[in-house]
Amino acid sequence: MKITLLEPLGIPAQVLEQYKARLEAKGHSFTAYGDKTTDPAELIRRTGDSDIAIIANNPYPARVVEAAPNLKMLDVAFTGIDHVALDACKAKNVMICNAAGYSTQCVAELAIALTIACLRHFGIAVQETEQGYAVAGGQQYHACDLTVEGDYSQAAFFCVANALGSDITLTNLNPESVQGDKKIVEIVREMCYNREQGLPAGFTVDAADIPDLVPILAVLATFGTAPSSITGAHRLAIKESDRLASTADLLNRLGGKVTATPDGLEIEPVEQLHGGTVDSCGDHRIAMCAAVAATRCAGEVTILHGECVEKSYPRFYEDYRQLGGIANVIVLES
């Protein structure tokens, strides 16, 4: 079987070599490419006669699927498959496996915990075993009233806005939630707050288990009273954008002092940002970070491709305006 990794996943070279050795020992071949490409012709060349192709967040168009004679499985190491030509895969009976390759064990466990909590709420018994979890067959779901708790990942933007001077009341956030991004409350209230000056202090955060908080934490750190460091975030290279690079670029274009490292971000505090034009890179979290950063900019902020917030928070700009912000969304047809 021929397996091809079509773009980098932030996996160290030595680990890839170990994978390759194991696969070849079992009679398979493994090829890994170290750069990204969106050129369909190049994707066709790289896919070749592969049985399994592995991608992250780069588009995989229909013409590439149709040109792959032996393709049986497309492994998408990313949250979501909207960048894959689903109809073409279905027509060729190509199986799509959606496995987020950047997830840590803790992130996976939190996702499982959310699922189990929901199952139990509806009367389904789940037993923990040495290998994982067991769900007995023949059970029945029981109807009940349920309030879907708020999303801490989205609330994080307004938590940071509050830390930077806004006055926003956040509701429907379950303090007992197993959501990993609930950590934002602790970071803002306990780790970062300088009670004497009323500003966030410098902080060091290992973001391995809270990767979605990294961009907005960088905004928070930009207005600190001491340098800050975010580590454990190398897997962000394969989000909707390379989030370490796009976060640093965003804040630097507005007047910040942020350095992207292979594992995270180093942030030097500034008194104020000046504003400017930034590119969201089509990444919803980068766009929302820019909007929050704008509340502390001396000038206007123009966000290119800002409509990408539709992916996770379609009402973001509407809520932003209702809270007193000024946001005019103009979608330019290509």
Question: What pLDDT, in 10s, does the model give residues 215-272?
Answer: 999 999 999 889 999 999 988 887 878 899 999 999 999 999 999 998 999 999 998 9
Q: How confident is the model at residue 207 (pLDDT cuts 50, 70, 90)?
A: very high
Q: What percent of the chain has pLDDT over 90?
A: 58
Q: The whole model's pTM is what?
A: 0.72
Q: DSSP assignment of 5-28, as one string?
A: E-S--S--HHHHHHHHHHHHHTT-
Mean pLDDT of 306-313: 90
Token couple for 136: 């007995």
pLDDT tier, 331 (very low <50, low <70, confident <90, very high otherwise): low
What Cα–Cα distance (Å) separates residue 208 from each residue in 31, 121, 211?
27, 29, 6
pLDDT tens sequence across 65-111: 999 999 999 988 766 677 899 999 999 999 988 665 545 555 566 67
d(CA 94, CA 88): 8
pLDDT in tens, 19-47: 889 889 999 999 999 888 889 999 999 99
- pLDDT recorded at residue 106: 56
Instruction: Give the pLDDT of residue 30.
Output: 93
**Active-site amino acid positions:** 212
Taking only the tens place, the pLDDT of each residue in 121-177 is 899 999 988 888 899 999 999 998 888 889 999 999 999 999 998 999 999 999 988
- Measured CA to CA in angstroms, residue 313 lies from 237, 250, 295 at distances of 22, 20, 19
pLDDT in tens, 164-193: 989 999 999 999 888 889 999 988 887 776
From the list 41, 103, 44, the residue with the least C-alpha distance to 71 is 44
Specify the pLDDT at position 53.
94
